[in-house]
Amino acid sequence: MSYHDDSKKSLLNRLFSVLARIDLIQLFAMICLLSIGVAFIYGTGQQVGDKAALLWKKQLIWAGMGFAVWIFMAFFFDYKKLTSFIPFFYVACLIGLVVVLKLGVDLNGARRWFSFGGISIQPSEFAKFGVLLMAAWMVSIKGFDVNKFHHLAILGLACGVPFLLIVIEPDLGTSIVFIPMICSIVFAAGLKWKWIFLGLFLAVSAVPAIYPFLKEYQKERIRVFLNPERDPENRGWNSLQSQLAVGSGGAFGKGFMKGTQNTLGFLPKNVSYTDFIYSVIAEESGFVGSVTVVFLYFLLIFSALRAAVFASDNLGRYIAVGIAGVFFVHSFVNIGMTIKLMPITGIPLPLISYGGTFMIVTMVFLGFIQSIYSRRQNIW
């Protein structure tokens, strides 16, 4: 056999070795969702006009930066070496949440963002990541038992402080994500059913007690969710128009950039490329396109849970399960609010909705899953 043939075999072996480390299911779903997002942000931007017409370029830049982060984490980042830095990152996230309440941009009575030279940064997105890592790290510590009350109370305190800071901003949508994220982690850690049932009982019991402390617009969102006809030309407008957009798409949609609900301004143009982009997708690509997007999110969640099953340690397992919880609640709540399954909360759709901070954090989440998967135990 010639040296040339040996070189070819060596190159093929390296290629197969690299491919074996990559979660191809995740990569496929990620690229498809990113492409759909950029395409529909472009489409809605052209319909809206003005500055929105260029948002797809910004989204493409954020996606490129996120993909670079993903590649780094996939091939060069070992999540196991992060353990000693997790508490410091958690504290930094807490500081960011406190500072934004004082120095953040005030938009409609909410302080959620820092603004630097036209670039907005949302500390709560990083806090979501910090709390996930902190919870996974605490639960994975040797001797920590989620079924001991004082251990569970410490975990609840660590997660509850940033949760309350985000509620104060107020950003109810982001704070809601914390609940299934943490519940996923403690469930994977072996929380007994008695604690699960107790938690559900306390959560249901707390709803009437929490309601009086909500902002008036938050209360109105709940009222409108229960009865959209209550205020069809104001608070209920987005929900009703979104349902019309989704329903009017039919089986195959009206065609790319041919959706009338967005083009004619019935679906408010400032939300058509963010919180309600799924409504535009449903109208223009129909039932087939809508189901395709749902299926792609199913693949992402499946890849996270598969990484958890194959993880070589508990830290990786709990991180992956927590990320699966984040993707589930984001996709379920965002899609659900467009078809009146959920109240409107302002939760974006991962990899599709416009947004820089959210895009980067989402790609970091995916990078963590890839890092966990590539260092999985050999169980075959």
Q: Is residue 14 domain-resident?
A: no
Cα-based distances in Å from 122 to 166, 205, 357, 367: 11, 31, 6, 20
Residue 312: Cβ-neighbour burial (10 angstroms; 0-12, 13-18, 19+): middle
Cβ distance 332 to 176 under 8 Å? no
pLDDT average, residue stretch 98-126: 80
2 domain-assigned: no
Residue 35: predicted pLDDT: 95
Mean per-residue pLDDT, 23-45: 93
Comparing CA positions, the residue from 90, 170, 80 lying closest to residue 129 is 90
How far is the C-alpha of 32 from the C-alpha of 52, rounded, in Å? 22
Is 19 contained in some domain? Answer: no
Helices (H), the chain: 3-21, 24-48, 55-75, 86-103, 123-140, 149-168, 172-188, 193-210, 216-226, 237-248, 260-263, 277-310, 314-338, 356-374
pLDDT at 18 over 80: no
pLDDT digits (tens, 9 = 90+) for 288-324: 999 999 999 999 999 999 999 999 899 999 999 999 9
Q: Is residue 321 part of a domain?
A: yes
Q: Does residue 13 lie within any of the structural domains?
A: no
- Give the C-alpha separation, 367 to 269, whole Å: 32
Separation CA 317–CA 255 (nearest Å): 42
pLDDT of residue 378: 56
Per the domain annotation, does 322 fall within a domain? yes
Report d(CA 239, CA 245) in Å as an integer.
10
DSSP 160-181: HHHHHHHHHTT-HHHHHHHHHH
Distance between CA atoms of residues 74 and 374, nearest Å: 7
Is residue 296 included in any domain, yes or no?
yes
Query: Which range, 73-87, 284-298, 337-351, has the best average confidence (pLDDT)?
Result: 284-298
Domain with 33, as residue range(s), is 25-374
Angle between helices 86-103 and 123-140 (to 10 degrees): 150
Helix, strand or coil for residue 377? coil
pLDDT average, residue stretch 42-70: 87
Q: How far apart are CA 141 and CA 264, in angstroms?
A: 56
Q: How confident is the model at residue 380 (pLDDT cuts 50, 70, 90)?
A: very low
Measured distance CA(165)–CA(161) in Å, rounded: 6
Q: What is the mean pLDDT of residues 157-166?
A: 92
Of 269, 239, 250, the closest CA to residue 339 belongs to: 239
What's residue 343's pLDDT? 79
Once rounded to an integer, what is the mean pLDDT over residues 19-39?
Answer: 91
Does an H or E element contain 269, and which?
none
Residue 79, domain member (yes or no): yes
Phi and psi at residue 112, in whole multiples of 5°? Answer: -125, -15
Task: Tell me how many domains the chain contains.
Answer: 1
CA 302 to CA 186: how far, in whole Å?
19
> Mean pLDDT over all residues of the chain?
84
